[in-house]
Amino acid sequence: MDLTWRALAEGDVPALVALAARCLAVDGGLPLAADETFLRPRFVADGGQGWAAVAGDGGLVAAGAVRVRDADGTRRAVLTGLVDPARRGAGIGGRLLDQGLAVAADAAGAVTVEIEALTAGAARLFQSRGLREIWAEEVMRFDLVASPLPLVTLPADLAVSTWTDDLAPRFFAVYTAAFRERPGFPGWTVGQWVDWTAGDDDFRPRWSLLAGDAAFVTSAEGWIVQVGVRPEERGRGLGAALVTEALRRMREAGRTEALLDVNVDNPAGALYRRLGFTVIGRRARFA
């Protein structure tokens, strides 16, 4: 095979972006995964180790990287990689994974493999190396140009309020009630959650809504970020109605699509499908 394996360098970033774009076009998934701002810290960050497979014409065929992080007293290596769709099925992915697992074993006692667009072939490869899926979420898209908005409205007894700084604590109270029983709930203070939500440059208060004190949706540029309904208020269609209203406002603002991601074990995935969202990829983690 006409491949040379070498260290991944800073000068490879443009080719890495192009490789990620080719993978995204075939595999689907998170559009951000082909952006330099997403790729750089994962593949060429200081303290990490990356490597590349280069074809005879100099083109980047595959890339992998390991970075190490410490969390909750555990030193863990995180492995990620990309293989050009046109060159799959020739053992490149297996070599990439084996090299990454070897590097990770030397660097830390535990390893997580990240993949931003899980394919059936990648899942089989990971399983063949004794890895199991520990987390996965679907990336979903709503076409604001071609898709009709759902015919869903809020009950008459609930007024809709648009995000303001004064209302942020009420949003937070609903968020806490809606999510506290979910695995991985971070237990943030109101300040931490508001900073995470509204501190993002892409946050859009006009598309972030509160229905009484029963349900909420927060939105960013191109995204439905969070949707939550108090447990005692579920079954009334509140989440569906708020998402629909956020989509309507996005469409009125001239946007063409809205994305969201939802954990594969979250029943909300079925709701989003009913509203007209389609799955465009699956992100996953293996260990």
Say if domain 3-131 classifies as CATH 3.40.630.30: yes
Q: Do domains 3-131 and 142-280 have the same CATH topology?
A: yes
> What confidence score (pLDDT) does residue 196 get?
97
> What confidence score (pLDDT) does residue 276 get?
97
Inter-residue contact 56 to 2 (CB < 8 Å): yes
CA–CA gap between residue 28 and residue 21 (Å, rounded): 10
Backbone phi and psi for residue 200, each to the nearest 5 degrees, phi listed first: -75, 135
CA–CA gap between residue 100 and residue 146 (Å, rounded): 43
**CB neighbour class for 154 (10 Å; exposed up to 12, middle 13-18, buried from 19):** buried
Select from 13, 18, 114 the least CA-distant residue to 66. Answer: 114
The strand pairing partners of 169, in sequence order, are none
pLDDT tens track for 220-245: 999 999 999 999 999 999 999 999 99
- Block residue for tokens 């074809």: 55
Domain spans, the chain? 3-131, 142-280
> What confidence score (pLDDT) does residue 107 get?
83
pLDDT tens track for 86-98: 999 999 999 999 9
**CB neighbour class for 115 (10 Å; exposed up to 12, middle 13-18, buried from 19):** buried
End-to-end CA distance of the chain: 30
> What confidence score (pLDDT) does residue 272 get?
97
> What confidence score (pLDDT) does residue 128 get?
98
Inter-residue contact 220 to 180 (CB < 8 Å): no
CA–CA gap between residue 127 and residue 286 (Å, rounded): 9
> What confidence score (pLDDT) does residue 1 get?
61
> What confidence score (pLDDT) does residue 180 get?
96
Segments of the chain scoring below 70 in pLDDT: 1, 71-72
DSSP label at residue 65? E
**142-280 adopts what CATH topology?**
Aminopeptidase (3.40.630)
